[in-house]
């Protein structure tokens, strides 16, 4: 988990660039009130990666393969539940907020994968 955090710290400029582009697009079309959903999507993706890293770290320390598999499955269910709850609350507030949060989550998730691949090589 420590390595994931360090990798994200090295690639924070890429995240800031993506967030700035998304915020500029929202502000340019006059929907500045949706700028908070960019933060929601970014935080959701960040906590998704942290949860994945924590579960992987826990599964590596377990000697029993069946127990490690169960730990990863529980982690997967918890991550999906986290996404469902956050996006469900956003859907209750408004459709625009839900769509913006979901799109931002996907964009930041893909950006996070890119950062992990790019900076994790060396």
Instruction: Check if the beta carbon of residue 40 is closer than 8 Å to that of residue 104.
Output: yes
DSSP state of 121: -
| pTM confidence score | 0.85
CA terminus-to-terminus distance, the chain: 17
Parent domain of 78: 2-120
The tens digit of pLDDT for each residue in 43-102 reads 999 899 888 888 888 888 888 888 888 888 998 999 999 999 999 999 999 999 999 999
Tell me the pLDDT of the chain averaged across its residues: 89
The tens digit of pLDDT for each residue in 19-52 reads 999 999 999 999 988 999 999 999 999 899 888 8
Cβ neighbours of residue 45 under 8 Å, at least 6 residues apart? Answer: 104, 105, 108, 109, 111, 112
Q: How many domains does the chain have?
A: 1
């Amino acid at each position: 988990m420590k390595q994931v955090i360090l990798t994200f710290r090295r690639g924070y400029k890429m995240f800031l660039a993506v967030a700035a582009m998304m915020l500029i697009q929202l502000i340019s079309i006059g929907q500045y009130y949706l700028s908070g959903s960019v933060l929601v999507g970014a935080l959701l993706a960040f906590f998704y990666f942290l949860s994945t890293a924590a579960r992987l770290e826990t599964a590596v320390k377990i000697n029993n393969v069946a127990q490690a598999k169960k730990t990863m499955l529980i982690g997967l269910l918890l991550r999906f539940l986290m996404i469902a709850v956050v996006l469900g609350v956003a859907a209750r507030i408004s459709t625009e907020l839900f769509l913006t949060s979901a799109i931002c989550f996907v964009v930041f998730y893909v950006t996070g994968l890119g950062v992990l691949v790019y900076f994790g090589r060396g």
